[in-house]
Amino acid sequence: MPGTLEKIAHRRRGEQEIRRLEALLRLEQPQFAPGVVHEWVAREFARFDDAPVRAYIPILVERAVRARLRATPVVPYWPAVELVDWARGTAEILLAGELPRRWQHTRGVAGRASEVSVVLPPGERAVLVAAAWLHDIGYASPVSATGLHSLDGARFLARLGVPSRVCALVAHHSGAAAVASLRGLAGQLAEFPDERGPVRDALWYCDMSTSPWGEPVSFEQRMAEIQSRRGPEDPVVRALAINRGERAAAVERTAELLRRTGRCPASVTRSDARSSTSPCCCPGGCSGGSSAVRRHGAR
């Protein structure tokens, strides 16, 4: 019995220390989701469950968690900084080391957004490119809280002071509302408005026409790749039954805008060693053809 009581007392003291340390770190590092801080603190305490001497455990845990926070040196956004530069740097910090393939995809999406942005009004261009850099940061472990990466990314950015419009674009990118509904998170995603305009369409277009490795693909190829990689039970794949048409329509609207301005990237030659061409990303192909190659192949 004494041994059991001692274990209970240790557990209670451990729980109190977890709450104390969580509260302290959340005050100091408000950009990290409470669930993320809790997980890191609890995980470090669990490493010492069988330690015979417990007096120094809180100190060791605090040091370990602080080291992890320092290893993710995300800084808040402030208006004096160029939005796109800040977005690029933040995405690289969060994705390049932990999720290199996701970083490749992000670079491809941002590159495509930079090209597509020229058809938007000047004041909209930085918003699109910044959202493209940031759209998948919710996959990073310091950001992930609910498991819905679009929502987690948007909340993280909001805590960092990023303009609300960029946060909302990240929250709703590429049909996130259907995934949120399937996962019971629709109410939480509704914290952010879905603007349903050309910038939102262009972000969906860029994401839905870029492979996981950052290369341009057609919309149909991207849909097939998502289904193959994730499997039929994944909420992202199940969501396609709900909103595949909405995704295709957003891609087509952007493709039509590009066609009207003579900038559809159909069959654009990539400047790599294979001298291959990237497919049209429009849902049903487009009429960009060889003229598009002549216009854009030298870029």
Residues contacting 75, CB < 8 A, separation 6+? 90, 160
CB 174 within 8 A of CB 207: yes
For residue 30, the domain's CATH number is: 1.10.8
CA angle in degrees (0–180, nearest 5) for 256-258-263: 140
Query: Both tokens of residue 208?
Result: 């839905």
- As a whole number, the mean pLDDT across the chain is 85
Residue 298 included in any domain: no
CB 174 within 8 A of CB 144: no
pLDDT interval class at 271 (50, 70, 90)? very low
Where is 132: in which H helix or E strand? Answer: helix 122-134
Rounded to two decimals, the pTM is 0.76
In angstroms, the Cα distances linking 228 to 82, 99, 251, 292 are 38, 20, 21, 30
Note whether 111 and 136 are same-domain residues.
yes
Query: Both tokens of residue 244?
Result: 């595949």
- How many domains are contained in the chain? 2
pLDDT above 80: residue 3: no
At residue 299, the pLDDT reads 28
List, for residues 114-147, the tens digit of each pLDDT value.
999 999 999 999 999 999 999 999 999 989 999 9
Backbone angles phi, psi at 51, to 5 degrees: -70, 130
Note whether 168 and 108 are same-domain residues.
yes
Q: Which of 46, 70, 94 represents a domain boundary (last residue)?
A: 70
CB 33 within 8 A of CB 143: yes
DSSP 77-100: --TTS-HHHHHHHHHIIIIITT-H
Is residue 277 helix, strand or coil?
strand
Note whether 119 and 250 are same-domain residues.
yes
Query: Both tokens of residue 3?
Result: 């041994």
Note whether 95 and 66 are same-domain residues.
no
Note whether 105 and 238 are same-domain residues.
yes
Note whether 59 and 125 are same-domain residues.
no
pLDDT above 50: residue 88: yes
Amino acid in position 271:
S
Residue 49 included in any domain: yes
Where is 272: in which H helix or E strand? Answer: none
Q: Which domain holds residue 204?
A: 83-262
At residue 288, the pLDDT reads 45
